[in-house]
Amino acid sequence: MTASPAIDALLLPQTEVSADDSAETTHLLAAQAGDMAAFEWIVRRHEEKLFGFCCRWLRCVEDAREVCQDTFVRAWQALPEFEGRAKLSTWLYQIALNLCRDRAKSRASRQRDNTTTINDLEQPLTCPQNAPDASAEWQSEMQKLDRGLALLPEKLRTALMLSTMEGLSHEECAKVLNCSVRGTEGRIYRARQMLLRWWDEEGQ
């Protein structure tokens, strides 16, 4: 199979940007004590990646924006009970994924009640990977990748996105997905193979 350098790079696990975890711990403890300014620091640190994840998962910018906002509302409400058994970012992704799934179910229900088609809801995205300063070729390949991802079964698509696009380790992915590490690795492998096969067939 052949693929472009862009898709090859995107299907390799991305490393999360290393940051000062001690600073996050300090702000987390303050936020758990009710310090809104500390929580706003947490929001600023994580909102861009969470918004990108919601965009790619929901394929609708407006829905993604609302779900991302709701994620932080839920996080603020549940923050006093957060025990740190997982990284804060992993916990936020777990909340976001649950809300994405709820939004998708609601959207499917609305679709049954009117004439809206799924294609009406799946528009080309303007997310971090589709930034205006990206080359036309990169924009085109990202839109193609969006289409390919949408064809994957949800469990496989989500595992691949968390690992290769969000930079989560397999252990972190497993916590978000409530799945074993081995099961998560299997999902990522199958998703990658299906996507590469589809990409190759589309290029014929």
d(CA 59, CA 126): 10
Asked if CATH classification 1.10.1740.10 holds for the domain at 19-116+135-202, the reply, yes or no, is yes
Share of the chain above pLDDT 90, in %: 61
Q: Answer whether 0.85 is exceeded by the pTM.
A: no
Give the angle subtended at the CA of 48 by the CAs of 65 and 106, to the nearest 5°: 25
What pLDDT was estimated at residue 163?
A: 95
Question: 166: which DSSP letter?
Answer: S
- pLDDT, tens digit, 9 for 90 and up, residues 100-127: 999 999 887 676 555 444 444 444 444 5
Q: Which of 141, 154, 17, 156 lies closest to 89, judged by CA? A: 17
d(CA 28, CA 22): 10
Taking a C-beta distance cutoff of 8 angstroms, is the pair 68, 96 a contact? Answer: yes
- pLDDT, tens digit, 9 for 90 and up, residues 45-79: 999 999 999 999 998 999 999 999 999 999 999 99
Taking a C-beta distance cutoff of 8 angstroms, is the pair 128, 179 a contact? Answer: no
